[in-house]
């Protein structure tokens, strides 16, 4: 079992003052992020689902249902694709939460249990010498 002190970090939030974040936020807000990053229009090159294989490592998804940056359907699709390949996977959908909601969570928050569950899942599969 992981202890909070082993996984809790500073509550920094996501700031648009950092150039990387500003680029991401403006591309998302303007609906141009994919076009900016894939100038040849071959979006399948950057679609993570195209890289899934039977040997893909275990995946734990936690996704806010109200996410306006990455629609929840992308996690649902990835989960279904991985299931079809027999990959170990878990999916937790969090009602009423937006993108990166977990950045501000504290141990007292109800949703923290899902984050802890995800970290324990990762720890289980990332043990030295037994990744898969």
pLDDT tens column, 112-131: 999 999 999 999 998 744 54
Q: How high does pLDDT run on average in the chain?
A: 82
pLDDT tens column, 65-79: 998 878 899 999 999
What's the whole-model pTM score?
A: 0.70
Give me the residues paired with residue 62 across strands. 92
pLDDT value of position 25: 75
pLDDT value of position 13: 52
Say how far apart CA 131 and CA 105 lie, in whole Å.
Answer: 28
Say how far apart CA 111 and CA 113 lie, in whole Å.
Answer: 5
Q: 66 is written with which tokens? A: 């109200």
pLDDT at 6 > cutoff 50:
no
């Amino acid at each position: 079992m992981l202890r909070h002190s082993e996984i809790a970090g500073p509550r920094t939030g996501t700031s648009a003052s950092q150039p990387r974040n500003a680029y991401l936020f403006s591309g998302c807000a303007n609906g141009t992020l994919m076009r900016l990053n894939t100038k040849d229009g071959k979006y399948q090159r950057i679609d993570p689902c195209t890289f899934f294989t039977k040997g893909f490592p275990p995946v734990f998804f936690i996704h806010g249902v109200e996410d306006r940056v990455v629609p929840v359907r992308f996690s649902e699709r990835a989960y279904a694709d991985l299931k079809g390949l027999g990959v170990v996977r878990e999916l937790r959908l969090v009602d009423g939460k937006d993108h990166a909601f977990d950045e501000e969570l504290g141990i007292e928050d109800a949703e923290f249990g899902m984050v802890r569950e995800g970290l324990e899942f990762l720890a289980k599969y990332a043990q030295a010498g037994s990744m898969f």
